[in-house]
Amino acid sequence: MKIEPLNIPEVLLITPPKFGDSRGFFSETWSAAKLGAQGFNEHFVQDNHSLSAQPGTIRGLHCQLAPSIQGKLVRVIKGAIWDVAVDIRHGSPTYGKYAAAILSEANWAQLWIPGGFLHGFCTIEPNTEVIYKVTGDYDRAAERAVIWNDPTLALPWPVEPGKALLSDKDMVAPRLADCEPWFNYK
């Protein structure tokens, strides 16, 4: 499995091999042994799967606080997303900075987003299905959100102004500056 650190080195682009033949393909999309051999030893406790029908659907920017902090290993089995992680670890040299990648059925790439980061994505094809493993259980009380178009983050979302499709919750999330520090850099 190819593992590439992005501009924020804790965020990793992981691309598993895909073996095609006349029937279709086979891919080991996650392997504790193969990733562990390269120093990636995260323990996952839950798998998530979301479908977004329309391109321009934005889910995020979300995180969960301790004790339910979630690292996320995100991949796309249908369609494509612009996937983004924003460093919000208090005291981090890359606080407020982002790392992003296109994840798609075509490129078969996965993004590892550690705890301490906001996560969000924007779909860029119809009927996009996102699958992701997380290292912490869902905990609604621990969920926090920051508004997707926070001007201080200035994320280059691939959606035309006014065309983003959001949940009611995401429409009214606060700016990061209006949130207390949720994670410490260590």
Ligand X SMILES: Cc1cn([C@H]2C[C@H](O)[C@@H](COP(=O)(O)OP(=O)(O)O[C@H]3O[C@H](C)C(=O)[C@H](O)[C@H]3O)O2)c(=O)[nH]c1=O
| Residue of 62, 75, 89, 133 that binds ligand X (CB under 6 A) | 62
Q: State which residue, 105 or 139, has the beta carbon closest to ligand X.
A: 139
* Residues 115-144 contacting ligand X, CB under 6 A: 119-121, 138
Nearest distance from residue 64's CB to ligand X, in Å?
8
54 belongs to the binding site for ligand X (CB under 6 A):
no
**Residue list 18-47, contact with ligand X (CB under 6 A):** none
Q: Which two tokens stand for residue 58?
A: 């934005």
Catalytic, 62? Answer yes
**Per CB under 6 A, which region of 6-14, 30-38, 114-122, 156-164 contacts ligand X?**
114-122
Please count the residues of the chain: 186
Which residues, numbered 71-100, are part of the site for ligand X (CB under 6 A)? 72
Known catalytic membership, residue 132: yes
Q: Which of 31, 38, 50, 127 binds ligand X (CB under 6 A)?
A: 50
**Max CA separation in the chain (angstroms):** 55
In a 13 Å sphere around the CA of 107, the CA atoms on its Cβ side amount to 16
Locate 142 and state its tokens: 């621990």
Q: Among residues 11, 14, 59, 81, which is the contact residue for ligand X, using CB under 6 A?
A: 59
C-alpha–C-alpha distance, residues 104 and 2, integer Å:
16
- By beta-carbon proximity to ligand X, the closer residue of 59 and 75 is 59
> The tokens of 121 are what?
């994505």
Minimum distance, C-beta of residue 120 to ligand X, in the bound complex (Å): 5
Select from 86, 51, 65, 74 the least CA-distant residue to 134: 74
Q: Which helix (DSSP H) or strand (DSSP E) does residue 32 occupy?
A: helix 32-36
Question: Do 183 and 118 form a contact (C-beta atoms < 8 A)?
Answer: no
Task: State the catalytic residue, choosing from 62, 90, 95, 138.
Answer: 62
Contact 99, 6 (CB under 8 A): yes
Residues lying near ligand X in the complex (CB under 6 A) are found at 48, 50, 59-60, 62, 72, 119-121, 138, 167
Please list the active-site residues.
Answer: 62, 132
